[in-house]
Amino acid sequence: MNNYHFGRGRARLAPYLLLLPGFFFYLVIMLGPSIATGVYSFTDASGIQGTTLHWIGLENYREFLFLGQASIDNYGALFRTLVFSFFVTTIQFSLGLGLALLVNQRLKGINVFRTIFFMPVILGAVIQGLIWSLFLYPLGGPLASILGMFGMRSEFLGGQPNEAIAWVIFVQIWANLGVTMMIFIAGLQTIPEDLYEGAQIDGASRWQVFRNITWPMLTPSVNTNLLLNIIGSLQAWQLFLVLIGYRNGTQVLGYLIFAQGFGQASGSVTSAFRQGYAAAASIVLFCLVLGIGLPVQYFLQRREKRVLG
């Protein structure tokens, strides 16, 4: 603190005063509300102006977890969130690694491929979703026509809930694979070349090179990607909104929170402005993120210490 060079006394306050606006916004718009979610989860907040709040204790949690058909549906949403996250994480992770290895070779035109694979990342859920809604248009859309040639047909996003979710998983991976790939590429480029040269002299096979050099040396990017993919996919739901809307049997937790809290549910399921209830659902999701994220983080860090010393 003694290393401050820009004066003493009142001048010492300058960094504090100038930091204030930025930190204030963070506090008021994100950090504060985030923590207050816990408080709201114990109330019957409605989101309608002029109504008073009541403290109702654990009622929202009781209803969310134990009350009738709705709670059974909630467990369904919870389960789907886990399934969605599992498939998105594992597939995106492995494909991202494979693609990174492919485009990290010195081949002609390789930069074009990198650009193409990263492109969807910037388009955002609306464009990503609409592009695939068109491609998967069941009434004679491109994929329907191709399937038709083999005498098959499918409703795609309008089909059975499990099929619709599978397509959302596909689009989610398509959209975000570029980030995973780029993080792996950055990791690959930090591996010193002489390691590979040594292996070459020893006559190691490509698999041995990957197993004993590339994979352990990639540990930091492996950790980053796993953690980002897990947390990101547990919280993701925007593509559900654009691709299939709020439909029974397809909801994930993030979408449920939004629909309960803001009553914007379209389609067959209606819901009102139940913000206290939605806050409780947010806390359930938060517990899921922590419950999976922290152990994974712990495990990854222990492994990193073991592998990289």
**Measured CA distances, 275 to 14, 56, 232, 248 (Å):** 40, 13, 23, 20
Nearer to another protein, 72 or 107 (CB): 107
Site for another protein in 243-302 (CB under 8 A): 254, 257-258, 261-262, 264, 275, 278-279, 282-283, 285-286, 289-290, 293, 297
For the bound state, the minimum distance from the C-beta of residue 122 to another protein, rounded and expressed in Å, comes to 5
Site for another protein in 186-245 (CB under 8 A): 186, 188, 191, 193, 196-197, 199-200, 206-207, 209-210, 214, 223-225, 227-228, 231, 235, 238, 241-242
- Region class of 50: left (phi > 0), else alpha (psi between -120 and 50), else beta: left
Nearer to another protein, 49 or 69 (CB): 49
Do residues 235 and 281 make contact, with C-beta atoms less than 8 angstroms apart?
A: no
183 belongs to the binding site for another protein (CB under 8 A): yes
Half-sphere exposure of 10 (CA within 13 A, CB side): 0
Site for another protein in 31-50 (CB under 8 A): 31-40, 45, 47, 49
Which residues are CB-contacts of 58 (< 8 A; sequence separation ≥ 6)? 42
**Measured CA distances, 60 to 25, 160, 174, 269 (Å):** 30, 31, 36, 19
CA dihedral 244, 134, 177, 94 (to 10 degrees): 80
For the bound state, the minimum distance from the C-beta of residue 90 to another protein, rounded and expressed in Å, comes to 14
Question: Can you tell me the distance from the alpha carbon of 37 to that of 281, in angstroms, rounded to the nearest whole number?
Answer: 10
125 belongs to the binding site for another protein (CB under 8 A): yes
Quick one: which of 42, 64, 84, 117 contacts another protein (CB under 8 A)?
Answer: 117
Residue type, 75: Y
Quick one: which of 65, 86, 118, 166 contacts another protein (CB under 8 A)?
Answer: 118
Stretch that binds another protein, among 76-84, 150-158, 161-169, 174-182 (CB under 8 A): 174-182
User: Which among 259, 291, 238 is positioned nearest to 73, based on CA atoms?
Assistant: 259
- Residues 151-170, mask of contacts with another protein (x by CB under 8 A): --------------------
58 belongs to the binding site for another protein (CB under 8 A): no
What are the backbone angles phi and psi of residue 43, rounded to the nearest 5°?
-125, 175
User: Tokens in use for 38?
Assistant: 């816990």
102 belongs to the binding site for another protein (CB under 8 A): yes
Quick one: which of 58, 70, 72, 134 contacts another protein (CB under 8 A)?
Answer: 134
Nearer to another protein, 84 or 254 (CB): 254
For the bound state, the minimum distance from the C-beta of residue 198 to another protein, rounded and expressed in Å, comes to 11
